[in-house]
Amino acid sequence: MGKRVLVIDDSSTMRKIVSRSLRQAGLDFDEILEAGDGQEALNLLENESVDLILSDINMPNMDGIEFLRQKKDNAAIAGIPVVMITTEGGSDIIGEAKSLGAAGNIKKPFTPDKIEEVLGGLI
């Protein structure tokens, strides 16, 4: 089975943009799964395995920071690398994400080249 990625964002348009950028960057993903918030992602990860997670920070219901907290405490999914994709430029929120295990971050707006640069070493 090939590599799978999960894209978490409350905007379906942004999920499509991220998916398209992953393909344009030429990254080797066989399947791109989507979730609308952190809780939906946790539910999906109970039954699906992925190699990488790309998550927004600002989302209703469960934001990216709370998702990282809960993921970290779940041994079955704790080891999956997470890259935050966000409009947040503040070092505080990015620092908090990194302290909770985020492998990196990509600032919106982004290009396929930036996606490839950040994700290249993770897959």
pLDDT at 1 over 60: no
Residue 58 φ then ψ, to 5°: -90, 105
Domain ranges of the chain: 4-119
- Each residue of 43-95: pLDDT tens digit? 999 999 999 999 999 999 999 999 999 999 999 999 999 999 988 767 798 89
Residue whose structure tokens are 């080797």: 28
Percent of the chain with pLDDT over 90: 77
Q: Are β-strands 52-55 and 31-35 bridged in parallel, bridged antiparallel, or unpaired?
A: unpaired
Q: In this structure, are residues 82 and 71 in contact, taking their beta carbons and an 8 Å threshold?
A: yes
Q: What does the DSSP 8-state code read for residue 32?
A: E
Q: In the prediction, which pLDDT does 26 show?
A: 85
**In the CATH scheme, what is the homologous superfamily, with its name and number, of domain 4-119?**
Response regulator (3.40.50.2300)
pLDDT at 99 over 70: yes
Q: Report pTM.
A: 0.94
Q: What is the mean pLDDT of residues 90-114?
A: 91
Q: In the prediction, which pLDDT does 89 show?
A: 67
Q: In the prediction, which pLDDT does 37 show?
A: 97
Chain-centre distance for alpha carbon 118: 12
Q: In the prediction, which pLDDT does 121 show?
A: 77
